[in-house]
Amino acid sequence: MRVTLRLSFPLLLFALLFSALSCRSVARFTSSAKTPSENSSAARTASSAQPTRSALNNPAQSITESSGSQIVSSEEGMASYYAAQFHGRRTSSGEIFDVNAMTAAHLNLPFGTRVRVTNLSNNKSVIVRINDRLPPNNKSRIIDLSPAAARQIEMIQAGVVKVRVETLSN
């Protein structure tokens, strides 16, 4: 019994230490007045890149007001946008994040859900597809937009704005 305990404890300690060291915390969004391309050299590289295939084939980009979608639910709250440094990383849905795609992160809407996000300060709207999750401990925001979607509703300068998020059918 003592031999097993002596061997188990160091292995358990090593596993715990390894898992703690493999975690890191990085901000998912930026609220500075700078655009993502001004925040870092990596951001400049990401924003100057050609649109990727996922951005060109993103169904959320081709949605129009005449698509016949109806509003299923609506909520109001604060929105921010992803920092460009997340370009190329995996989202919670498993997709690769693309700064040029019309996508967003939400706390609990199903992946693939289309939502209309309206900036309440200027009434500009964009339709995005949910493909990521907000952090579970997030209390301040209801949605994080891709930089391309944030530009569409002119929220880059402010960083964080009050929005209406309308869940669409279809």
The proportion of the chain whose per-residue pLDDT surpasses 90, expressed as a percent, equals 42
Indicate whether 8 belongs to any domain: no
pLDDT, position 138: 84
Residue at 140 is within a domain: yes
Render pLDDT for 83-95 as a digit per residue (tens, 0 to 9).
777 778 888 898 9
Domains identified in the chain, total number: 1
Q: What pLDDT shows up at residue 135?
A: 86
In a domain? residue 21: no
Q: Is residue 5 part of a domain?
A: no
- Check if the beta carbon of residue 44 is closer than 8 Å to that of residue 37: yes
Determine, yes or no, domain membership for 151. Answer: yes
Q: 80: domain range? A: 26-168
Q: Please report whether residue 19 resides in a domain.
A: no
* φ/ψ (deg, to 5) at 140: -100, -25
CATH code, domain with 83: 2.40.40.10
For the segment 23-60, what is each residue's pLDDT rounded down to a tens digit? 444 445 444 444 444 433 333 333 333 334 443 344 44
What pTM was computed for the model? 0.62
